[in-house]
Amino acid sequence: MFDGTAMRGAATVVVRDGLVSDVTTDVVPDAIDLGDDVTLLPGLIDAHVHLAFDAVVDVVAGLDLDDEALLARMHGAAHQTLAAGVTTVRDLGDRSFLATKVATPLTVVAAGPPLTTVKGHCHFLGGEVASVEDMLRAVAERAERGCRVVKVMVSGGNITPGNTPFESQFDAGQLTQVVDEAHRLGMTAAAHAHAPQSVVEALDAGFDTIEHVTFMTAEGVEPPPGVLQRIVDSGVFVSLTLGALPGGTPPPAIAARLEAVTANHTWMAQHGARVVVGSDAGVGPVKPHGVTPHALAVMSEVLSGVGPLRSMTSEAAAALGLAGRKGELTRGADADLLAVRGNPVVDADALLDVVGVWAKGEPVRR
Ligand SMILES: [Zn+2]
């Protein structure tokens, strides 16, 4: 058993009312024997998905359906996610707050439509804001609608026509007010940040997680001097966009910069930055829902031992504000369990060989 923090020996997890009520090496009557070649671990956590996106080439065109049909499709995406052993996701951008309405055993920490500028990155999701007053109103609306995180497009992005990832979309003063208001209302705050300056602004504003962190410019990849160390020192969670089907190619803007982006991510991870996996599942053909376990192979090149698994369980839970409740197999945590054949610490592919998945104690796959 991997308990979210460390590898333990053989153990029995006792589940009561959807929670882990005990973890023991004693004999427990009626226990399910998973066998000697199986590793039991907490259900995986993906810090960045889009249940509303259909993993097609043009995800914007793929949204051309009404809310009822879109919600039905999102239920399918949620089941696909669960079947892969991912029991908690943070949905960082939907339409019409539909991610808060996905009624499956999947735990969804939803952002609703990301805050963006007028005609800015992902404006088609409905989160356009024109002033700081708009932004604060949007934060309050997200709290009222059951969101547990506020997502801000601090820089532009790749999938929005007429928008570029190389520039910031907001100023530091606006961002600080948004983050403070989100925290005041009991939510966390996530910054989408590609442009070098946007990462600095996200740090200045006190976001809990920074997504992508590519430091992309029109020419290449240019982290401002000292910023990598500052990320490490700040304790902010860096959400790495990892996990893709083998053999796939990333979008051209990413592919051309991948080596430099990876080098910076590796440096941060190896110097103590808090890294989690945010696959961006749904955003394109190489990232179907349930793709998350594929991130382990890449993470295993960056971190040793149980580090990669922590990034996908207990560390991710902390990033989502769910420490102690998710991502660990300890007394009182939700009984989200994944059983795989083999040992994923020594063989990343083992994470793809699913034997069983339970969400809040209920079997969703055997
Ligand atoms: Zn995304």
User: Could you report the per-residue pLDDT of 65-122, keeping only the tens digit for each?
Assistant: 999 999 999 999 999 999 999 999 999 999 999 999 999 999 999 999 999 999 999 9
* Distance from the alpha carbon of residue 201 to the mean position of ligand 1, in angstroms: 19
Residue 327 domain-assigned (yes or no): no
* Distance from the alpha carbon of residue 279 to the mean position of ligand 1, in angstroms: 8
Query: What local confidence, expressed as pLDDT, does residue 74 receive?
Result: 98
* Distance from the alpha carbon of residue 69 to the mean position of ligand 1, in angstroms: 21
Length of the chain, please?
366
* Distance from the alpha carbon of residue 199 to the mean position of ligand 1, in angstroms: 16
128, 100 contact by CB (below 8 A): no
Provide CB contacts within 8 A for 208, sequence distance 6+. Answer: 149, 188, 189, 190, 236, 237, 319, 321
Residue 217 domain-assigned (yes or no): yes
CATH code where residue 91 lies:
3.20.20.140
* Distance from the alpha carbon of residue 283 to the mean position of ligand 1, in angstroms: 7
**Secondary structure (3-state) at 22:** strand
Calculate ∠ Cα 127-129-133, nearest 5°: 130
* Distance from the alpha carbon of residue 267 to the mean position of ligand 1, in angstroms: 23
* Distance from the alpha carbon of residue 211 to the mean position of ligand 1, in angstroms: 8
* Distance from the alpha carbon of residue 47 to the mean position of ligand 1, in angstroms: 10
Give the pair of three-digit tokens for residue 315: 């560390």
* Distance from the alpha carbon of residue 237 to the mean position of ligand 1, in angstroms: 16
Residue 7 domain-assigned (yes or no): no
Query: What local confidence, expressed as pLDDT, does residue 254 receive?
Result: 87
97, 112 contact by CB (below 8 A): yes
* Distance from the alpha carbon of residue 92 to the mean position of ligand 1, in angstroms: 6
351, 46 contact by CB (below 8 A): no
User: What is the C-alpha separation between 327 and 255, in angstroms, rounded?
Assistant: 31
* Distance from the alpha carbon of residue 212 to the mean position of ligand 1, in angstroms: 9
* Distance from the alpha carbon of residue 306 to the mean position of ligand 1, in angstroms: 26
Residue 27 domain-assigned (yes or no): no
User: Could you report the per-residue pLDDT of 325-357, keeping only the tens digit for each?
Assistant: 999 999 999 999 999 999 999 999 999 999 999
pLDDT in tens, the chain (366 residues): 999 999 999 999 999 999 999 999 999 999 999 999 999 999 999 999 999 999 998 999 999 999 999 999 999 999 999 999 999 999 999 999 999 999 999 999 999 999 999 999 999 999 999 999 999 999 999 999 999 999 999 999 877 777 889 989 998 899 999 999 999 999 999 999 999 999 999 999 999 999 999 999 999 999 999 999 999 999 999 999 999 999 888 888 889 999 999 999 999 999 999 999 999 999 999 999 999 999 999 999 999 999 999 999 999 999 999 999 999 999 999 999 999 999 999 999 999 999 999 999 999 998
Residue 303 domain-assigned (yes or no): yes
Residue 17 domain-assigned (yes or no): no
Query: What local confidence, expressed as pLDDT, does residue 253 receive?
Result: 84
* Distance from the alpha carbon of residue 18 to the mean position of ligand 1, in angstroms: 30
* Distance from the alpha carbon of residue 91 to the mean position of ligand 1, in angstroms: 8
Q: How far apart are the first and last CA of the chain?
A: 18
* Distance from the alpha carbon of residue 331 to the mean position of ligand 1, in angstroms: 33
Considering its fold, how many domains does the chain have in total?
1
Domain range for 98? 42-319
Closest CA to 243 of 194, 278, 282, 283: 278
* Distance from the alpha carbon of residue 131 to the mean position of ligand 1, in angstroms: 23
User: What is the C-alpha separation between 366 and 347, in angstroms, rounded?
Assistant: 22
* Distance from the alpha carbon of residue 195 to the mean position of ligand 1, in angstroms: 15
User: What is the C-alpha separation between 221 and 287, in angstroms, rounded?
Assistant: 23
* Distance from the alpha carbon of residue 55 to the mean position of ligand 1, in angstroms: 12
Residue 216 domain-assigned (yes or no): yes
Backbone angles phi, psi at 55, to 5 degrees: 60, 35
* Distance from the alpha carbon of residue 213 to the mean position of ligand 1, in angstroms: 12
* Distance from the alpha carbon of residue 282 to the mean position of ligand 1, in angstroms: 8
Residue 128 domain-assigned (yes or no): yes
Q: What is the dihedral of CA 223, 287, 309, 353, to 10 degrees?
A: -160
* Distance from the alpha carbon of residue 93 to the mean position of ligand 1, in angstroms: 7
* Distance from the alpha carbon of residue 2 to the mean position of ligand 1, in angstroms: 29
Provide CB contacts within 8 A for 300, sequence distance 6+. Answer: 308, 348
Radius of gyration from C-alpha coordinates of the chain? 20
pTM summary value: 0.97
* Distance from the alpha carbon of residue 50 to the mean position of ligand 1, in angstroms: 6
